[in-house]
Amino acid sequence: MLRKELLFFVVSAGLLTAWATSCTGDSEIPGESMGLFRFHASPLSFDGGVARACDRISELPKDQGFDFEGVFSQSRESSEKAYFTINGLSRDASLTGQVLTSTVEAGRRFEVDDCVPEFTAEETLEVALISESQARHYAALDGGPGTGCPPDIETLLGSGAFLVDPDAGIVAPSFTPEGFDAIHACGLLIDILRPNGECPAFETAPDGGTTPLDACTATYFVDGVRRQ
Protein backbone atom coordinates (compact mmCIF):
# COMPACT_ATOMS: atom_id res chain seq x y z
CA MET A 1 0.00 0.00 0.00
CA LEU A 2 1.40 3.39 -0.99
CA ARG A 3 1.49 6.14 1.58
CA LYS A 4 -1.51 8.38 1.04
CA GLU A 5 0.62 11.42 0.22
CA LEU A 6 2.05 9.50 -2.75
CA LEU A 7 -1.29 8.56 -4.28
CA PHE A 8 -1.77 11.74 -6.30
CA PHE A 9 0.28 12.46 -9.37
CA VAL A 10 -0.85 15.92 -10.47
CA VAL A 11 2.15 18.08 -11.39
CA SER A 12 1.96 21.88 -11.06
CA ALA A 13 3.29 23.93 -8.21
CA GLY A 14 3.00 21.10 -5.71
CA LEU A 15 -0.76 20.83 -6.19
CA LEU A 16 -1.08 17.38 -4.67
CA THR A 17 2.12 15.38 -5.09
CA ALA A 18 4.59 16.32 -7.81
CA TRP A 19 5.02 14.04 -10.74
CA ALA A 20 8.56 12.88 -11.17
CA THR A 21 9.41 13.61 -14.78
CA SER A 22 12.05 10.93 -15.18
CA CYS A 23 11.35 8.00 -17.47
CA THR A 24 9.80 4.93 -15.87
CA GLY A 25 11.53 1.63 -16.62
CA ASP A 26 9.62 -1.47 -17.67
CA SER A 27 10.84 -3.35 -14.58
CA GLU A 28 8.82 -0.96 -12.38
CA ILE A 29 5.54 -1.35 -14.28
CA PRO A 30 2.88 -3.87 -13.17
CA GLY A 31 1.31 -6.00 -15.88
CA GLU A 32 1.92 -5.55 -19.61
CA SER A 33 3.08 -2.10 -20.72
CA MET A 34 0.75 -0.17 -23.04
CA GLY A 35 3.21 2.67 -23.55
CA LEU A 36 4.71 5.81 -22.03
CA PHE A 37 2.65 8.92 -22.78
CA ARG A 38 3.53 12.59 -22.41
CA PHE A 39 0.47 14.72 -21.52
CA HIS A 40 -0.45 18.37 -21.50
CA ALA A 41 -3.36 19.28 -19.21
CA SER A 42 -5.34 22.38 -20.26
CA PRO A 43 -7.80 24.03 -17.83
CA LEU A 44 -11.45 23.53 -18.76
CA SER A 45 -13.49 24.65 -15.76
CA PHE A 46 -13.32 25.50 -12.06
CA ASP A 47 -16.42 25.25 -9.89
CA GLY A 48 -15.91 26.46 -6.35
CA GLY A 49 -19.46 27.30 -5.31
CA VAL A 50 -20.65 30.56 -3.77
CA ALA A 51 -17.55 30.97 -1.61
CA ARG A 52 -15.32 30.68 -4.73
CA ALA A 53 -13.23 27.84 -3.30
CA CYS A 54 -11.24 27.30 -6.50
CA ASP A 55 -10.30 30.98 -6.74
CA ARG A 56 -9.02 30.92 -3.16
CA ILE A 57 -6.65 27.95 -3.68
CA SER A 58 -3.59 29.56 -5.23
CA GLU A 59 -1.86 26.22 -5.93
CA LEU A 60 -4.41 25.24 -8.58
CA PRO A 61 -3.01 25.75 -12.12
CA LYS A 62 -5.70 27.92 -13.71
CA ASP A 63 -3.97 29.56 -16.67
CA GLN A 64 -1.39 27.66 -18.71
CA GLY A 65 -2.04 24.15 -17.46
CA PHE A 66 0.83 21.70 -16.92
CA ASP A 67 2.65 18.70 -18.37
CA PHE A 68 3.10 15.21 -17.00
CA GLU A 69 3.96 11.74 -18.27
CA GLY A 70 3.22 8.20 -17.23
CA VAL A 71 2.96 4.59 -18.33
CA PHE A 72 -0.30 2.73 -18.90
CA SER A 73 -0.27 -1.02 -18.40
CA GLN A 74 -2.77 -3.86 -18.36
CA SER A 75 -3.04 -6.67 -15.83
CA ARG A 76 -1.96 -10.09 -17.05
CA GLU A 77 -4.81 -11.65 -15.04
CA SER A 78 -7.72 -9.49 -16.23
CA SER A 79 -8.20 -7.45 -19.41
CA GLU A 80 -10.38 -5.00 -17.47
CA LYS A 81 -7.75 -4.17 -14.83
CA ALA A 82 -5.04 -1.65 -15.60
CA TYR A 83 -2.52 0.71 -13.98
CA PHE A 84 -1.04 4.17 -14.41
CA THR A 85 2.60 4.41 -13.27
CA ILE A 86 5.06 7.27 -12.80
CA ASN A 87 8.59 6.92 -11.45
CA GLY A 88 7.80 3.51 -9.99
CA LEU A 89 4.54 4.58 -8.30
CA SER A 90 1.39 2.90 -9.62
CA ARG A 91 -2.31 3.62 -9.21
CA ASP A 92 -5.05 1.12 -10.03
CA ALA A 93 -7.25 1.71 -13.07
CA SER A 94 -10.08 0.05 -14.96
CA LEU A 95 -10.09 -0.55 -18.70
CA THR A 96 -13.41 -0.65 -20.55
CA GLY A 97 -12.93 -0.94 -24.29
CA GLN A 98 -10.58 1.93 -25.12
CA VAL A 99 -11.32 3.96 -21.96
CA LEU A 100 -8.97 3.79 -18.99
CA THR A 101 -10.19 5.28 -15.69
CA SER A 102 -8.25 5.73 -12.46
CA THR A 103 -9.58 7.35 -9.27
CA VAL A 104 -7.63 7.88 -6.05
CA GLU A 105 -8.29 9.80 -2.84
CA ALA A 106 -6.00 11.30 -0.20
CA GLY A 107 -5.71 14.04 2.40
CA ARG A 108 -3.94 17.26 1.47
CA ARG A 109 -3.55 20.71 3.04
CA PHE A 110 -4.03 23.82 0.87
CA GLU A 111 -3.60 27.47 1.74
CA VAL A 112 -6.93 29.30 1.42
CA ASP A 113 -6.45 33.02 2.00
CA ASP A 114 -5.16 33.13 5.61
CA CYS A 115 -6.33 29.61 6.47
CA VAL A 116 -4.61 26.27 5.77
CA PRO A 117 -7.32 23.60 6.09
CA GLU A 118 -7.15 19.87 5.46
CA PHE A 119 -8.90 18.77 2.27
CA THR A 120 -10.07 15.39 1.09
CA ALA A 121 -8.87 15.32 -2.49
CA GLU A 122 -10.31 12.95 -5.08
CA GLU A 123 -8.64 12.71 -8.45
CA THR A 124 -9.97 10.94 -11.54
CA LEU A 125 -8.01 10.44 -14.73
CA GLU A 126 -10.20 9.21 -17.59
CA VAL A 127 -8.63 8.86 -21.02
CA ALA A 128 -9.26 7.10 -24.30
CA LEU A 129 -6.41 5.17 -25.89
CA ILE A 130 -6.36 5.99 -29.61
CA SER A 131 -4.82 3.89 -32.40
CA GLU A 132 -2.81 5.37 -35.26
CA SER A 133 -5.64 4.86 -37.76
CA GLN A 134 -8.17 6.46 -35.41
CA ALA A 135 -5.81 9.36 -34.68
CA ARG A 136 -5.42 10.11 -38.40
CA HIS A 137 -9.20 10.18 -38.79
CA TYR A 138 -9.85 12.35 -35.73
CA ALA A 139 -7.03 14.79 -36.55
CA ALA A 140 -8.78 15.66 -39.82
CA LEU A 141 -12.15 16.46 -38.23
CA ASP A 142 -13.34 20.04 -37.75
CA GLY A 143 -13.89 21.20 -34.18
CA GLY A 144 -11.22 19.03 -32.61
CA PRO A 145 -7.75 19.93 -31.34
CA GLY A 146 -6.18 18.55 -34.53
CA THR A 147 -3.88 16.25 -32.57
CA GLY A 148 -5.63 12.90 -32.95
CA CYS A 149 -8.21 13.44 -30.21
CA PRO A 150 -11.88 13.38 -31.26
CA PRO A 151 -13.72 16.71 -30.94
CA ASP A 152 -16.47 15.11 -28.82
CA ILE A 153 -14.14 13.32 -26.41
CA GLU A 154 -16.29 14.00 -23.32
CA THR A 155 -19.30 12.29 -24.94
CA LEU A 156 -17.22 9.40 -26.25
CA LEU A 157 -15.70 8.73 -22.83
CA GLY A 158 -19.22 8.00 -21.61
CA SER A 159 -20.48 6.06 -24.62
CA GLY A 160 -17.30 4.29 -25.68
CA ALA A 161 -18.45 4.65 -29.30
CA PHE A 162 -15.06 5.36 -30.85
CA LEU A 163 -14.86 4.95 -34.61
CA VAL A 164 -13.94 1.44 -35.76
CA ASP A 165 -14.30 0.70 -39.47
CA PRO A 166 -12.06 -2.17 -40.64
CA ASP A 167 -13.20 -1.69 -44.25
CA ALA A 168 -11.76 1.83 -44.11
CA GLY A 169 -8.65 0.66 -42.27
CA ILE A 170 -9.72 2.22 -38.95
CA VAL A 171 -9.20 -0.15 -36.03
CA ALA A 172 -9.11 0.09 -32.24
CA PRO A 173 -5.76 -0.19 -30.45
CA SER A 174 -4.67 -3.67 -29.41
CA PHE A 175 -1.68 -5.74 -28.40
CA THR A 176 0.45 -6.83 -31.37
CA PRO A 177 3.76 -8.73 -31.57
CA GLU A 178 5.44 -5.30 -31.36
CA GLY A 179 3.42 -4.27 -28.29
CA PHE A 180 0.29 -2.18 -27.68
CA ASP A 181 -0.28 0.05 -30.70
CA ALA A 182 -2.05 3.10 -29.24
CA ILE A 183 -0.19 6.29 -30.18
CA HIS A 184 -2.44 8.86 -28.52
CA ALA A 185 -4.40 9.22 -25.28
CA CYS A 186 -6.83 11.99 -24.44
CA GLY A 187 -9.62 12.74 -22.02
CA LEU A 188 -10.19 14.45 -18.68
CA LEU A 189 -8.43 14.95 -15.37
CA ILE A 190 -10.85 15.93 -12.60
CA ASP A 191 -9.78 16.98 -9.09
CA ILE A 192 -12.44 17.41 -6.41
CA LEU A 193 -11.13 19.12 -3.28
CA ARG A 194 -13.46 18.92 -0.27
CA PRO A 195 -12.55 21.08 2.76
CA ASN A 196 -12.90 19.56 6.20
CA GLY A 197 -14.45 22.63 7.80
CA GLU A 198 -11.42 24.25 9.46
CA CYS A 199 -11.75 27.68 7.82
CA PRO A 200 -14.17 30.43 8.86
CA ALA A 201 -17.05 31.32 6.54
CA PHE A 202 -16.18 33.81 3.81
CA GLU A 203 -18.03 37.01 3.02
CA THR A 204 -20.00 36.39 -0.16
CA ALA A 205 -22.60 39.17 -0.33
CA PRO A 206 -22.59 42.99 -0.22
CA ASP A 207 -24.71 42.91 2.94
CA GLY A 208 -21.98 41.04 4.80
CA GLY A 209 -23.50 37.58 4.47
CA THR A 210 -21.06 34.70 4.73
CA THR A 211 -20.83 31.20 3.26
CA PRO A 212 -18.71 28.25 4.39
CA LEU A 213 -16.01 27.12 1.99
CA ASP A 214 -17.43 24.73 -0.62
CA ALA A 215 -15.75 21.93 -2.53
CA CYS A 216 -13.67 22.91 -5.54
CA THR A 217 -13.95 20.87 -8.73
CA ALA A 218 -11.12 21.51 -11.20
CA THR A 219 -11.42 19.92 -14.64
CA TYR A 220 -8.64 19.69 -17.23
CA PHE A 221 -8.54 18.38 -20.80
CA VAL A 222 -5.54 16.06 -21.15
CA ASP A 223 -3.91 15.36 -24.51
CA GLY A 224 -1.16 12.74 -24.55
CA VAL A 225 1.31 11.53 -27.18
CA ARG A 226 3.04 8.14 -27.10
CA ARG A 227 6.75 8.49 -26.39
CA GLN A 228 7.78 4.85 -26.32
pLDDT in tens, 185-217: 999 999 999 998 778 888 887 777 888 888 999
5-9, 82-86, 90-94, 164-168: which range is least confident on average?
5-9
pTM comes to 0.85
> What whole-number distance in Å separates Cα of residue 16 and Cα of residue 107?
9
> What whole-number distance in Å separates Cα of residue 93 and Cα of residue 158?
16
The pLDDT value recorded for residue 87 is 72
Q: Is 78 buried (19+), middle (13-18) or exposed (0-12) by CB count in 10 A?
A: exposed
60-64, 75-79, 97-101, 109-113: which range is least confident on average?
60-64
- In whole numbers, what is the pLDDT of the chain averaged over residues? 83
- For 115-128, the pLDDT digits (tens) are 888 888 899 999 99
3-state secondary structure of 187: strand
- Indicate left, alpha or beta for 126 from its phi (over 0: left) and psi (-120 to 50: alpha): beta
Is the separation of the CB atoms in 126 and 157 below 8 Å? yes
> What whole-number distance in Å separates Cα of residue 38 and Cα of residue 70?
7
The percent of residues above 90 in pLDDT, for the chain, comes to: 50
> What whole-number distance in Å separates Cα of residue 131 and Cα of residue 123?
26
Question: What 3 state SS string does 42-108 have?
Answer: EEEEEECCCCCHHHHECCCCCCCCEEEEEEEEECCCCCCEEEEEECCEEEEEEEECCEEEEEEEEEE
pLDDT of residue 9 exceeding 70: no
The pLDDT value recorded for residue 141 is 84
- Please state the rounded mean pLDDT for residues 175-181: 91
The pLDDT value recorded for residue 2 is 29
- For 60-74, the pLDDT digits (tens) are 888 878 888 899 999
Domain boundaries in the chain? 4-226
Query: Per-residue confidence at 143, pLDDT binned at 50, 70, 90?
Result: low
Find how far residue 47's CA is from the centre of its chain: 17
pLDDT of residue 13 exceeding 50: no
Closest CA to 123 of 8, 214, 221: 8
Interacting residues of 166 by C-beta distance below 8 A, sequence separation 6+: none
